[in-house]
Structure 1
Amino acid sequence: MSLKNLEIYKSHILEYGFTVINTIFSPEEIDKISRVLENIDTSKENFRKSEDLFAIRQFLKELPEIKDLIFNENIQRVVKEIFGEKYFVVKSIYFDKPETSNWYVAYHQDLTISVDKKLDVPDFGPWTTKQNQFAVQPPLPILENIYTIRIHLDDTDENNGALKVVPKSHSKGIYRPETIDWKVETEEICNVEKGGIMIMKPLTLHGSNRTTNGKKRRVIHIEFSDMELPGGLQWSERMY
């Protein structure tokens, strides 16, 4: 990977809401990550398992031994140079969309953050609680500040659930998917090679189609911010 032109990717994210950078991880690094994932105890409460999807919430907390494998030199440079010096992890999820999966995701924005407790803080809400984990929709500036990295452990295209996005939708505030005017907006499929990453802003409208080519899609989703939360709230997965 040529890291000298990260400015190009940064400007693409700021304008369009997303970018793809391939060859961030070597085949050997992906194999090491995969081996850790193959040996996990899937019965924990933060693990969600169905025939269409396997997911791990609070992924980096559940599998601390994988952190050093994920934060290789390339990822550290991406975070520092594209996001900023003070960005830290605020959320992590692992998705495994199996070969036979009918799982698809309709267009949406990622509008909630994970916090440590439920507090009555102005402009924060609505709230949801799953398995004693608290999620809340924060004010827009907090969402606008977040960057998401999606690490691809498999080659991904439109046939096995690559993300489709609406370019520039991240700069339009809260954008209800039912109001998308396809005469004005366009759709782009984000193909990512095994070992590559997709970076996106949470407010970028995105979704994915069902798998049709019998190939699995495993993705590690990590969100970053450099903002502190008000009113005594803390990021529940904060990690440097």
Structure 2
Amino acid sequence: MRAHFDQLGYALAPDVLSPAECARLGELVQPVASASGGTRCLLSQPWCAALATRLRAEPALAACLDPDALAVQCTYFEKSAGRNWLVPMHQDLSIPVAARVDAPALRGWSVKEGAVFVQAPPALLRELVAVRVHLDPCSAGDGPLVVVPGSHRAGVIAPADLPAARAVAPAVACIAGVGGALVMRPLLLHASSKALGQSRRRVLHFVFGPRTLPHGLEWNVAVQSD
């Protein structure tokens, strides 16, 4: 699985959580999810921090996820007939940090839901791993994530180079069952289309990274000691 992950930039792990666990997580996330169907700031919730700890120790993810990695963000996405959207092909370049730091290598500062974000240096982006836990089945008609295998190896891709980078390999739709996890490099080119039916697609998207950051940056989370 590690060789597959390093080469392609993603891997699918089925049945990481049981259907009953996913149903319970859906109940827990609903009160803190915004009216728009998502939020970026779930790690402050004890249940979410506990789930991050469990994912770090999950045998099915061990080949892709360093057991010492720090969970630095959890975003909730809910796509349904009433909350439907598409996302064009892109890379995830921003990380949540405790405060702004003036350094020439840092750019793309923003504030989202009260948290400070910055575009991370390429060397740091290559160390990040995202784990997307599916609380519902995600079929081809549910607006699944579509990835370009191997595109993460190109590093940060300039907008003008995006068409060439997309041609590296045919795009693949990441289908998952309840409790399945998609593990991916944030530098992997990915997109999603609108859902076609009346189903609901709920995802908890965790980002894991190294415990220390360059340029005097600090993560916008308490360090997890376990």
Same fold (TM over 0.5): yes
- Confirm whether residue 35 of structure 1 aligns to residue 27 of structure 2: yes
Change (3 A) 1:234 1:96: same
Which residue of 30, 35, 48 maps to 1:49? 35
TM-score by length of 1: 0.84
**SS at structure 1 position matched to 2:142:** coil
- Other-structure match for 1:208: 192
- Other-structure match for 1:19: 11
Q: Whole-Å Cα distance in 2 between the matches of residues 201 and 123 of structure 1?
A: 21
> CA RMSD, aligned part only?
2.1
- Other-structure match for 1:58: 41
- Other-structure match for 1:166: 148
Offset at residue 67 of structure 1 (A): 3.4
Offset at residue 192 of structure 1 (A): 0.8
Q: Whole-Å Cα distance in 1 between the matches of residues 156 and 55 of structure 2?
A: 34
**SS at structure 2 position matched to 1:65:** helix
Offset at residue 71 of structure 1 (A): 4.2
- Other-structure match for 1:135: 117
Change (3 A) 1:60 1:78: farther
Which residue of 213, 221, 224 maps to 2:208? 224
The correspondence of residues 62-77 of structure 1 with structure 2, limited to 5 A, is 63-69=45-51, 71-72=53-54, 76-77=58-59
- Other-structure match for 1:122: 104
Change (3 A) 1:160 1:104: same
Change (3 A) 1:122 1:238: farther
Post-superposition Cα deviations, 1:17-72, rounded to whole Å, max 9, x if no partner, equal: 1111111111221122122234x1x5xxxx5423xxx11221121x2234335644
Offset at residue 135 of structure 1 (A): 0.7
Q: Which runs of 4+ in 1 moved over 4 A?
A: 78-81
Change (3 A) 1:70 1:166: same
Post-superposition Cα deviations, 1:151-199, rounded to whole Å, max 9, x if no partner, equal: 0000102211110001100000112456323554311000011110000
- Confirm whether residue 194 of structure 1 aligns to residue 178 of structure 2: yes
Q: Percent identity?
A: 29
Contact 2:213 2:219 in 1 (8 A): yes
Q: Whole-Å Cα distance in 2 between the matches of residues 190 and 14 of structure 1?
A: 17
Q: Whole-Å Cα distance in 1 between the matches of residues 133 and 167 of structure 2?
A: 32
Q: Whole-Å Cα distance in 2 between the matches of residues 56 and 127 of structure 1?
A: 19
Point out where structure 1 has 5 or more consecutive residues left out of the alignment: 1-7
Change (3 A) 1:73 1:109: closer
Contact 2:150 2:168 in 1 (8 A): no
Q: Whole-Å Cα distance in 2 between the matches of residues 30 and 77 of structure 1?
A: 18
TM-score by length of 2: 0.89
Contact 2:5 2:64 in 1 (8 A): no
Q: Whole-Å Cα distance in 2 between the matches of residues 101 and 148 of structure 1?
A: 23
